[in-house]
């Protein structure tokens, strides 16, 4: 049986006054036993909390979120036969599932990374909007590797940036005033480019990037911390801890706090829910001292 590598990312969850605690919203959904009544449309995609379980031993919620793929779906094939489609009943869809863990005491959420499935923003919007009588807002802050976060926050200046974006995932109007992303985004949209790179450097000469470029970096960093990484494929920053120090390159996208585990696929070429939940518990155990 073959294996697959799963990644899990950690977030701290914030809510403004007037929004109920996330655990209240999670329990509200859990109290609804009819699966079809749990379905909500988030960002034009229908998703559902498939399973919600309160783990008494660790005192956390374990969840499995499902996205119903209503567009072009996956096929099946072999190395010596053409790809063919799956058979579905009229009310059935291909689905993508994403496991998650929420700790109410520290307000931290751990989410399985699934590029095609429910991402952290959609997950939080689902619970925030589930009860139409009390719509709220939940904001995620991604946890970076502690040393990377401290080195970026404590930098005295930056000397170079190397950023790669997917222009179709960013809105030009949102970045019009940004000196780094704005020009690249306008040029990409005008030429219908699928990928754009922004590389700015002071080279080996003395000098640092302008305050406006530092503002751009701060904005990108804030988006990354809130889990809003859509449109960014690479964010490398060359920082100085002291003005006369050597440049240190930080990878702000890849150096997020990550738990990774290789897991065995079952006979359906899937990773069973209980196995993914076990990995979530292991990630929680390894990080809980940071969740304060």
User: Could you report the per-residue pLDDT of 42-88, keeping only the tens digit for each?
Assistant: 989 999 999 999 999 999 999 999 999 878 777 888 888 888 877 87
In this predicted structure, what is the pLDDT of residue 203?
63
**At 22, is the pLDDT very low, low, confident or very high (cuts 50, 70, 90)?**
very high
For residues 62 and 116, membership in a common domain is answered with yes
Q: Are 277 and 157 within one domain?
A: no
Examine the domain organization and report whether 63 and 132 are in the same domain: yes
Domain count, the chain: 2
Same domain, 22 and 55: yes
Write out the two tokens for 89: 């009943």
What average pLDDT does range 121-138 have in this prediction? 92
- CA distance readout (Å), 189 to 74, 79, 168, 169, 186: 29, 38, 8, 11, 5
In a shared domain, residues 222 and 167: yes
Query: 174 and 230 share a domain?
Result: yes
Distance CA 169, CA 166 (A): 6
For residue 202, name the pLDDT band (cuts at 50, 70, 90). confident
- Look at residue 30 in the predicted model and tell me its pLDDT: 97
Whether residues 132 and 267 fall in one domain: yes
Q: Where do the H-state alpha helices sit in the chain?
A: 22-30, 120-129, 146-153, 181-191, 211-225, 273-287
| pLDDT computed for residue 31 by the predictor | 97
Whether residues 131 and 194 fall in one domain: no
Q: Which DSSP string do the residues of 63-97 spell out, in sequence order?
A: EEEEEE--SS---EEETTEEEEPPP--TT---EEE
Whole-number percent of the chain with pLDDT over 70? 97
Question: Are residue 11 and residue 129 in the same domain, yes or no?
Answer: yes
Q: Is residue 200 in a domain?
A: yes
Residues 26 and 105 in one domain: yes
User: Do 109 and 36 share a domain, yes or no?
Assistant: yes
Domain-located, residue 155: yes
* Domain around 13: 3-73+92-143+257-287
Which residues are CB-contacts of 239 (< 8 A; sequence separation ≥ 6)? Answer: 151, 152, 155, 157, 158, 159, 247, 248, 249, 250
What pLDDT sits at residue 1? 63
Residue 152 has pLDDT above 70, yes or no: yes
Identify whether residues 245 and 118 lie together within a single domain.
no
Lowest mean pLDDT segment, chosen from 47-51, 164-168, 213-217, 223-227 = 223-227
Average pLDDT, the chain: 88
Compute the average pLDDT of residues 219-237: 84
- On whether residue 85 sits in a domain, the answer given is no
Task: Please say if the pLDDT value at position 244 is more than 80.
Answer: no
């Amino acid at each position: 049986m073959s294996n697959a590598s799963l990644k899990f990312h950690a977030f701290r969850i914030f809510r403004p006054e007037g929004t109920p605690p996330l655990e209240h919203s999670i329990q509200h959904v859990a109290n609804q036993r009819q699966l079809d009544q749990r379905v909500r449309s988030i960002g034009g995609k229908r998703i559902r909390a498939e399973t919600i379980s309160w783990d008494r031993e660790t005192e956390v919620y374990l969840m499995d979120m499902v996205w119903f793929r209503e567009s072009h779906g996956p096929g099946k094939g072999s190395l010596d036969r053409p790809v063919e489609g799956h058979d579905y009943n009229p009310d059935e869809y291909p689905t993508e599932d994403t496991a998650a863990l929420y700790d109410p005491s520290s307000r931290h959420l751990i989410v399985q990374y699934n590029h095609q499935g429910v991402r952290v923003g959609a997950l939080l919007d689902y619970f925030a909007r589930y009860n139409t009588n009390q719509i709220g807002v939940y904001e995620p802050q991604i946890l970076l590797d502690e040393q990377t976060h401290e080195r970026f926050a404590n930098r005295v200046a930056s000397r170079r940036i190397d950023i790669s974006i997917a222009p179709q995932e960013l809105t030009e109007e949102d970045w019009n005033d940004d000196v780094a992303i704005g020009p690249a985004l306008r040029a990409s949209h005008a030429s219908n480019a699928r990928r754009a790179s922004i590389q700015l450097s002071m080279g080996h000469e003395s000098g640092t990037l302008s305050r406006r470029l530092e503002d751009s970096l701060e904005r990108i960093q804030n988006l990354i911390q809130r889990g809003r990484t859509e449109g960014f494929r690479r964010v490398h920053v060359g920082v100085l801890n002291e003005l006369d120090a050597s440049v240190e390159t930080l990878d702000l996208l890849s150096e997020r706090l990550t738990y990774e585990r290789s897991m065995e696929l079952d006979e359906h070429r899937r990773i069973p829910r209980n196995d993914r939940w076990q990995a979530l518990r292991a990630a929680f155990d390894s990080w809980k001292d940071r969740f304060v």
